[in-house]
Amino acid sequence: MNIFADLIEIQDEIVKTIGKLADENNFEAYVVGGYVRDLLLGKEVKDVDILVIGEGIKFAKVVARHFKKKVTVYEQFRTAMISLEDRKIEFVGARKESYRRDSRKPIVEDGTLDDDLARRDFTINAIAVSINEKTFGKVIDPFNGRKDLHDKIIRTPLDPERTFDDDPLRMMRAIRFASQLGFEIEEKTLLAIKKMKERLNIVSQERITDEFLKIMQSPKPSIGLKLMQETSVMSIILPEVSELAGTEQRAESENENVARYHHKDVFQHTCQVVDNLAAVTDNVWLRLAGLFHDIAKPRTKAFKEGVGWTFYGHDVLGAKMVRSIFRRMKLPMDKSKYVEKLVLLHLRPMFLVDESVTDSAIRRLIVQAGEDLDDLIKLCRADITTRNPKLVAEYSRNYDIVVQKIKEVEEKDRLRAFKSPVDGNEIMQVLGLKPGPLVGRLKKAIEEAILEGIIPNEHDAAFDYLMKIKDKIISEYEAEHNQKE
């Protein structure tokens, strides 16, 4: 079977050239791993893994000289990498690996083609295709990886407990591939994850977080999230999310309407919210906001007679929890503020539907959300998880009303990137003040007047208002200051 000619009918000139160089220099070479997997799945292939029987680094240097490129060598793992155009070509000599029980660093030795394929994580990644001229396109598939690809199954080539004991991160990778590809994890492999999950504690947080983000970036993240929960991997990596399971939320008194459009179970509801977001955005940080938006519900849950379960303040506490989660998982802290903001504000838009809501309330939401207002509305719409189509239509219309109100106020007040038209420097210059809390108080008074609709969001109006209120505010500030002394 010629995988290149028969399956996809493309000419991969780089791979063909590498095959010719292997022949000319007496190397036995194969494409392997993700390149072959994605080729068989009909996906676009870019980066290439080359498996060499013998010295992979030596052959990489031959290829680098031919293409006049620099080769990066990783002696410890006996691998090398070349960048060609926008592609990465990685070379590895066939090897076998063993691990000490207390270490995640492998002991690497030379091996055969069979050794190398056996050490790989899953059968779908343990398929090799020859690129030497005489056997070009020949498929070596000792663990029936092609059948598992066809059947959409994730399984390990060897005993899964041994595979996961050697490199525990493979448990996360199994869940990640299932989520990315929409595959099922074979039962024995799934049971091994449940049994071996504690071994994840020896894996670096950076590697775990990388796999987790890939799960969150998959087309339907709930597949991976539910597998993490089913195997109890979630309790190790994100216990705050694991605790959402079994938390009932019907009859939530913060807003009766909100309770009606949620799933009963907070974990199931959260998974649906993340999937809803995945359907409309590739922004993984917005998807994370969806994952964390109800994170504090188990900690704020209380029963109120005649009302039912309440979760007062779960938005405020949830926003605070986001920062500690980001630190623990070594996620970029500059993204934490964005997620915190959306978690804090996710209930606000629904309260703005009422006809009695003032422009002031709309202005405050616009200013608080700032440039993330559109993402906040996406999160709110994704938060509708009822299976009742009439309710979906009703709540969608409610958000349409909110969006229209926001649009009207924005057009009138230009508030999306709001800051006082009279800044601190101008206040100090006009009133002869030095930097300090008094300047901030005067600036805050102007901003509040704009938000309350007392004055328009314009410089001249703000300046006139400053001159009108300055004596009163300065007098109050001085009185407070004298009292403290």
Q: Would you state the torsion angle of the CA atoms of residues 458, 459, 464, 466, taken in this order, to the nearest 10 degrees? A: 100
pTM for this entry = 0.81
pLDDT exceeds cutoff 90 at 457: no
Per-residue pLDDT tens digits for 74-96? 887 789 999 988 899 999 998 76
Q: In this predicted structure, what is the pLDDT of residue 246?
A: 81
Q: Is residue 407 part of a domain?
A: yes
Band (471; pLDDT cuts 50, 70, 90)? confident
Q: Which residue has the higher pLDDT, 375 or 407?
A: 375
Q: In this predicted structure, what is the pLDDT of residue 379?
A: 94
Band (108; pLDDT cuts 50, 70, 90)? low
Q: In this predicted structure, what is the pLDDT of residue 195?
A: 97
Q: In this predicted structure, what is the pLDDT of residue 262?
A: 55
**Shared-domain flag, residues 49 and 188:** no
**Shared-domain flag, residues 276 and 404:** yes
**Shared-domain flag, residues 204 and 351:** no
**Shared-domain flag, residues 431 and 413:** no
DSSP state of 349: G
Q: Is residue 165 part of a domain?
A: yes
**Shared-domain flag, residues 183 and 300:** no
**Shared-domain flag, residues 139 and 286:** no
Q: Is residue 262 part of a domain?
A: yes
Q: Which helix (H) or strand (E) holds 50?
A: strand 48-53
- Expressed as residue numbers, the domain containing 184 is 152-237
Mark which of 371, 393, 418 sits at the end of a domain. Answer: 418
| Cβ atoms of 98 and 111 closer than 8 Å | no
The number of distinct structural domains making up the chain is 4
Q: Is residue 472 part of a domain?
A: yes
pLDDT exceeds cutoff 90 at 109: no
Q: In this predicted structure, what is the pLDDT of residue 252?
A: 43
Q: Is residue 455 part of a domain?
A: yes
Residue indicated by tokens 């030379």: 110
Quick one: average pLDDT of 425-430?
A: 88
CATH number, position 63:
3.30.460.10
**Shared-domain flag, residues 274 and 320:** yes
- Token reading at 33: 């791993």
**Shared-domain flag, residues 161 and 62:** no
Band (12; pLDDT cuts 50, 70, 90)? confident
Torsion 100-103-104-106 (CA) sign: negative
Q: In this predicted structure, what is the pLDDT of residue 60?
A: 95
**Shared-domain flag, residues 258 and 396:** yes
Q: Which residue has the higher pLDDT, 401 or 29?
A: 29
**Shared-domain flag, residues 316 and 443:** no
Q: Is residue 243 part of a domain?
A: no
Per-residue pLDDT tens digits for 293-342? 999 998 888 766 665 666 778 999 999 999 999 999 999 999 999 999 99
Mark which of 131, 148, 165 sits at the end of a domain. Answer: 148
**Shared-domain flag, residues 7 and 93:** yes
Band (98; pLDDT cuts 50, 70, 90)? low
CATH number, position 221:
1.10.110.30
**Shared-domain flag, residues 395 and 380:** yes
Q: Would you state the torsion angle of the CA atoms of residues 173, 179, 180, 182, taken in this order, to the nearest 10 degrees? A: 130
Per-residue pLDDT tens digits for 229-259? 999 999 999 999 999 998 776 544 444 444 4
Q: Is residue 242 part of a domain?
A: no
Q: In this predicted structure, what is the pLDDT of residue 178?
A: 98
Mark which of 203, 237, 271 sits at the end of a domain. Answer: 237
Q: Is residue 295 part of a domain?
A: yes
Q: In this predicted structure, what is the pLDDT of residue 179?
A: 98
**What DSSP assignment string belongs to 95-140?**
EEEEE-TT-SSEEEEE--HHHHHHTSS-GGG--EEE-SGGGTT-EE
Q: In this predicted structure, what is the pLDDT of residue 99?
A: 52
Q: How far is CA 359 from the centre of its chain?
A: 35
